[in-house]
Amino acid sequence: MSDDVDTAALDRAAEAVRAGKLVVYPTETVYGLAGDATDPDAIERVFEAKGRARDKPISLAVPDVGAALAYTCPTEREERFMREFLPGPVTVVVDRWEMLPDGLTGGKPRVGIRIPDHPVALALLDRVAPLTATSANVSGNPSATTVAELDAVTDRAAVVLDGGETGGTGSTVVDVDAGTIHRRGANADAVEAWLDEH
C-alpha cells in the first residue's frame, strides 16, 4: 500500500461510505468515485456529483469474486472468466440480484463487476463493500490519474485517498456470454483471446 495512504485514512473513508457519503479512491486504471452501491441515496449522490445521465449504469466494485456472487448471478462461463481476469482492469457485465438498487443499473437487469487490482482500493473494499465503480470526474471530462488532476467532483467527496499515479487506461468492459467487448481498455487483447478460445 502507498505510504501516503494510511490505515486511519482508509478507516475514515470506510466510515464516510457507511454514512452515505462519497469517497475518491485510486484503482490500477484511473481514480474512482465510491459510494455505497446498495444505498439508493448514495448512488444518486454519485450521479449528481458526476452530472451523469441516470440511464447510464454504474459498475459495482467488490473485493473478490466470492463477494461478487452475493450481488450477481454469473453463468458458469462468466464466473470462470471472472476468476481468470479479476482482480484486474476488466469490468464484467453479468446478471444482478434484485437487492441492488435499480438506480445503479439504470433499471437494467445486468451490472458491471469490477475488482480493482490496486492495494488502496482493495484495502477500502475489505472495509466496506460493495462500492460504486465509476471514474471520479464530471461526465465528459478526462479521467484523473493523479489527485492533482481531479476535477470538481472532489468537492462532493468526504475523503480523497491518494494512491499516487494510476495506470491511465480505463478498464475493458466485456459481456462474456454475448462475446462482446463494449469498451476496449487495458487487457483488451487478452480478453478477446480468452473469448475466442472459450
What range does the domain containing 140 cover?
Answer: 7-197
Sign of the Cα pseudo-torsion (132, 134, 135, 140, in order): negative
Average pLDDT, the chain: 95
Q: Is residue 113 part of a domain?
A: yes
Provide the 8-state DSSP code for 179: T
Q: Is residue 169 part of a domain?
A: yes
Provide the domain count of the chain. Answer: 1
Distance CA 133, CA 26 (A): 11
In the predicted model, what is the mean pLDDT of residues 186-197? 96
Q: Is residue 85 part of a domain?
A: yes
- The whole-number pLDDT of residue 144 equals 96
List pLDDT tens digits, range 106-153: 999 999 999 999 999 999 999 999 999 999 999 999 999 999 999 999
List pLDDT tens digits, range 34-51: 999 999 999 999 999 999
In the predicted structure, residue 27 carries a pLDDT above the cut 50 = yes
- The whole-number pLDDT of residue 181 equals 97
In the predicted model, what is the mean pLDDT of residues 80-100? 97
- The whole-number pLDDT of residue 4 equals 52
CA distances from 171 to 92, 97, 119, 133 (A): 10, 23, 17, 11
Task: With cut-offs at 50, 70 and 90, classify the pLDDT of residue 5.
Answer: low
Q: Is residue 1 part of a domain?
A: no
Residue type at position 57: P
In the predicted structure, residue 72 carries a pLDDT above the cut 60 = yes
Q: Using H for helix, E for strand and C for coil, what is the string for 57-77?
A: CCEEECCCHHHHCCCECCCHH
Which CATH number goes with the domain that contains 86?
3.90.870.10
Task: With cut-offs at 50, 70 and 90, classify the pLDDT of residue 61.
Answer: very high
Q: Using H for helix, E for strand and C for coil, what is the string for 74-105?
A: CCHHHHHHHHHHCCCCEEEEEEECCCCCHHHH
In the predicted structure, residue 195 carries a pLDDT above the cut 90 = yes
Kindly calculate the radius of gyration of the chain based on its CA atoms and give it in whole angstroms: 15
Using the CB atoms, write b or e for 16-46: b if 16+ within 10 Å: bbeeebbbbbbbbbbbbbbbbbbbeebbebb
Q: Are 129 and 61 in contact (CB under 8 A)?
A: yes
In the predicted model, what is the mean pLDDT of residues 182-190? 95
Q: Is residue 2 part of a domain?
A: no
Q: Is residue 73 part of a domain?
A: yes
In the predicted structure, residue 53 carries a pLDDT above the cut 90 = yes
16 or 3: which leads in pLDDT: 16
